[in-house]
C-alpha cells in the first residue's frame, strides 16, 4: 500500500489528520515540514515516520515522495511548483487551503494532472469543503438558483493555530454597518452578527458550478462579539498589536466557545415553483472537523480518483461524509421545501 505524506504534519491541523489516519490503521504514514526537530518530535509522539520538506527548496521534495501515493498539504503553497511536482509523478494531491488564489493556481495544473495520471482534490475542510458539499445539496433540484448564503461560525474559545488566526485576520477588511447581518446557526440558535468573508467556497462554486449570488459570511461565537465589535475587529485586524493581543488572549483565556458551525440557505425555483432550503452543521473544534474531512478524503480517494484537478464536491456528495460526521458527535439538520 502506498503511503501518505502530510506536509505540515506537526501543525495544529496536520497532526490531527495524522492521528486520525493512524487510528484508522493507515500504513506508511509520514509527516513532514521544514523544521526537523518539530517533525521528529511529533513523529515520535504519533508513532510514524518523518522527513524534511521545504516548500521553497525543490531539492528536498524528491526523496520525501519516495514510496508515497498521496500528498496532503496543510499550509498555503506560495506557488504551484510543489503541486505540479506531485502531479507530474502521477500521485494524489490533497490541499486544505481556504485561499482562492492558491486554489486557482492549482486548478491551472489540470492539463498536467490529466496527462500524467495525477489527481488533486481541493476545498478539503470545514469551509471550503463541507460548505461546498452542503451548498450543492441545498440547490439540488433547483432549475434556477436565486441566492445561496453560506454562514461559517467559529468559536473564539477554540484552539486555533497561529497560522489560522493570522489567515483570518489577513482576510478581514473594514465593512459598512449594513454589511453586518444577524444569522442563526444550528436548529435553535440565537442569531449572531456576521460579515462577508473571503472563504474560497463562494468563488469556487461560482467559477466551477456557475452558481450566481453565492455569499459566504463569518461569525465569531463569543459574548464579546456584537455588531459593533465585529466591525471594529475588521477595521483593526491589520494592526500588529491587535494580532499579538488576540493570539495571546486566545491562548490564555476562554473568549467564547469552541463551537464550529455551518448554515447554508438556498432560494430558487424548481419544476413545481419556489424552493427554499436551510441546511445546518453544528459541532466543536474547527481544526478537528477539518482533520476528519481531510482524513476521510485521503482514505476514500484511491477508490474515486480520476486524473485531473477537482474540488471536493466534484467527486463526492455531502451524504458520503454524513455518517462520519454524526459518529463524531456533529449535529446535522435540514428544512425547507424540496
- The rounded Cα 166 to chain-centroid distance in angstroms is 15
* CB contact burial 208-224 (16+ within 10 A = b; e otherwise): bbebeebebbbbbbbee
Between residues 255 and 274, the one the model is more confident about = 274
CB atoms within 10 A of CB 284: 17
* Cα separation of the two ends of the chain: 43
* pLDDT 10s digits, 56-96: 999 999 999 999 999 999 987 889 999 999 999 999 999 99
* pLDDT 10s digits, 121-174: 999 999 999 999 999 999 999 999 999 999 999 887 656 566 777 777 777 777
Superfamily covering domain 127-285: Dihydrodipicolinate Reductase; domain 2 (3.30.360.10)
Q: What is the pLDDT of residue 16?
A: 97
Question: By the 8 A CB rule, do 271 and 124 touch?
Answer: no
Domain 3-125+287-316 of CATH type 3.40.50.10490: no
Grid cell at residue 147: 441566492
Poorest-pLDDT segment among 183-187, 231-235, 289-293, 327-331: 231-235
Domain with CATH 3.30.360.10 in the chain: 127-285
Q: What is the pLDDT of residue 185?
A: 92
pTM for the predicted model, two decimal places: 0.92
Domain with CATH 3.40.50.720 in the chain: 3-125+287-316
Amino acid at each position: 500500500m502506498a503511503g501518505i505524506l502530510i506536509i505540515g504534519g506537526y501543525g495544529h491541523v496536520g497532526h490531527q489528520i495524522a492521528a486520525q489516519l493512524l487510528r484508522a490503521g493507515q500504513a506508511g504514514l509520514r509527516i513532514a515540514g521544514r523544521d526537523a526537530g518539530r517533525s521528529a518530535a511529533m513523529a515520535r509522539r504519533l508513532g510514524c515516520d518523518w522527513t524534511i520538506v521545504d516548500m521553497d527548496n525543490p531539492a528536498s521534495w524528491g526523496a520525501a515522495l519516495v514510496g508515497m501515493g498521496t500528498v496532503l498539504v496543510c499550509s498555503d503553497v506560495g506557488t504551484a511548483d510543489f503541486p505540479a511536482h506531485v502531479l507530474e509523478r502521477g500521485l494524489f494531491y490533497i490541499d486544505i487551503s481556504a485561499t482562492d488564489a492558491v486554489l486557482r493556481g492549482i486548478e491551472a495544473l489540470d492539463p498536467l494532472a490529466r496527462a500524467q495520471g495525477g489527481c488533486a482534490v481541493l476545498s478539503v475542510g470545514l469551509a471550503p469543503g463541507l460548505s461546498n458539499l452542503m451548498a450543492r445539496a441545498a440547490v439540488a433540484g433547483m432549475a434556477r438558483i436565486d441566492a445561496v448564503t453560506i454562514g461559517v461560525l467559529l468559536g473564539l474559545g477554540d484552539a486555533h493555530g497561529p497560522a489560522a488566526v493570522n489567515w483570518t485576520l489577513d482576510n478581514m477588511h473594514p465593512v459598512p454597518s449594513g454589511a453586518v447581518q444577524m444569522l442563526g446557526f444550528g436548529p435553535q440558535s440565537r442569531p449572531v452578527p456576521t460579515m462577508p468573508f473571503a472563504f474560497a467556497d463562494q468563488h469556487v462554486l461560482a467559477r466551477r458550478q456557475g452558481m450566481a449570488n453565492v455569499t459566504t459570511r463569518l461569525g465569531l461565537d463569543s459574548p464579546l462579539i456584537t455588531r459593533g465589535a465585529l466591525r471594529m475587529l475588521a477595521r483593526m485586524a491589520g494592526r500588529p498589536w491587535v494580532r499579538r493581543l488576540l493570539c495571546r488572549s486566545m491562548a490564555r483565556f476562554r473568549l467564547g466557545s469552541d463551537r464550529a458551525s455551518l448554515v447554508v440557505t438556498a432560494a430558487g425555483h424548481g419544476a413545481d415553483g419556489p424552493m427554499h432550503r436551510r441546511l445546518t452543521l453544528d459541532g466543536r473544534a474547527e481544526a478537528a472537523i477539518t482533520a476528519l474531512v481531510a482524513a476521510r478524503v485521503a482514505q476514500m480517494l484511491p477508490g474515486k480518483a480520476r486524473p485531473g484537478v477537482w474540488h471536493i464536491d466534484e467527486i463526492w456528495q455531502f451524504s458520503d461524509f454524513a455518517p462520519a460526521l454524526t459518529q463524531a458527535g456533529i449535529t446535522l439538520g435540514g428544512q425547507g421545501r424540496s
